[in-house]
Structure 1
């Protein structure tokens, strides 16, 4: 599995391009903005992008969706079913504040907690982790966790936006993420990578 991270959008969201090297199929995660560098990398790999996946619907994570959908017209947009209202309403997802343009989205594929998706040889498991938003989710592939804005290196996602809840995000992290093996590598929506064991020992917020 090849993982590429290129920050994008006004707030420098960690946008990931993940490729299964066996089948040359892949996905884009959290396109905060459109990155010509990422597009060139995908084209150099000649990778078939099957899905564009959102960990949640805040404007800083969705600003590049439309351009990537145009670049990869056969790709499907994937989001958590509990994020439907936020994605559809620019006032709730704050896309104007984050990128200057209102963004309203309808996913092609709505997923829920525990469901899986196969991309080449990669099996993606979706973990519903409310707290930062009602429909926030993480994606687990073997011992790799893409945590969106739920869990950061020694921090957690903000809970003061509409739909946010400190109690909910704390429960999500303890009951759904900290039960994963300590060696699970965490790739968050902002800042650098970490692992579950380190966060269990050192994260001051949970």
Structure 2
């Protein structure tokens, strides 16, 4: 599962959808994102955290409420949870946990912990909100569009950008909440790049990169997709096939994106 590692950041990558779990560690704190997917993968993450935690406090940032990103929540009962206020107040918590149950039922999966919807200790309510955790300063930004409760996190002075299910190198934008919000979130991501010294990008799905040109390429590709969705047609499909190697497996989401964008664009006018 080890996908990326340096002095302060270790990233695990699941076999399913290249879903990532990041662990940031310093002398005084350990921060984790979205523990997932399969039981042995969650166990591997749990064991690693146990080795590095010591007497430090563990924090878990949930980037959004999609079930694959909260499926490991029950394995870390000692953690303090950080998420958006929208995730905390989600109206469909039971339905999300039902998806976890259906996944485990479908694949005959047993877990040695009880999955549960995260209980949020620090609910982020505004852009630019900050939290000081030991020597690390975390700055948060609301990131709606994929889901309504998404959250960007910038961790300084390490220059780590945790983007959740945005700016992926393996997925075009998945718009499950709002096309208009997604466009604004891409503009916000560009502003984050301008205002912070981003050194490492960790997407929710795909590969970690510490290449500034690659980080900007991901922003450019996602923005291109969003801006051309309503008029892209075959040209946009061809572009997606060239950029995203698993496009055929996710093509139905592309067509759902178009439907949602057309609906919102019509209502906006």
TM-score, length-normalised on structure 1?
0.81
Structure having the larger proportion of residues in helix: 2
Pairing partner for 2:149 from 123, 135, 146: 135
Calculate the aligned-residue CA RMSD, in Å. 2.7
Provide the rounded CA distance (Å) in 1 between the counterparts of 2:124 and 2:104: 26
Partners of 1:202 and 1:52 lie apart in 2 by 29
> Where in structure 1 are there 5+ consecutive unaligned residues?
none
Q: CA deviation at 1:196?
A: 3.8
- Name stretches of at least 5 consecutive residues in structure 2 with no aligned partner: 1-6, 106-113, 227-269
Distance 1:14 1:37, change over 3 A: same
C-alpha distance in 2, partners of 1:148/1:129?
A: 9
CA distance in 1, matches of 2:20, 2:91: 19
1:167 and 1:50 map into 2 onto residues whose CA distance is 35
- 1: CA distance between counterparts of 2:90 and 2:96? 5
| Cα distance in structure 2, aligned partners of 1:61 and 1:18 | 17
* 2:62 aligned residue: 54
**Larger fraction in strand:** 1
Aligned-pair distance for 1:98? 4.5
Q: TM-score, normalised by structure 2?
A: 0.64
**How many residues get paired?**
196
The higher radius of gyration belongs to 2
The structure 2 residue matched to 1:42, chosen from 40, 49, 63, is: 49
The residue aligned with 1:65 is 73
8 Å CA contact 1:59–1:99 kept in 2: the answer is: no
Name the SS of the counterpart of 2:86 in structure 1.
helix
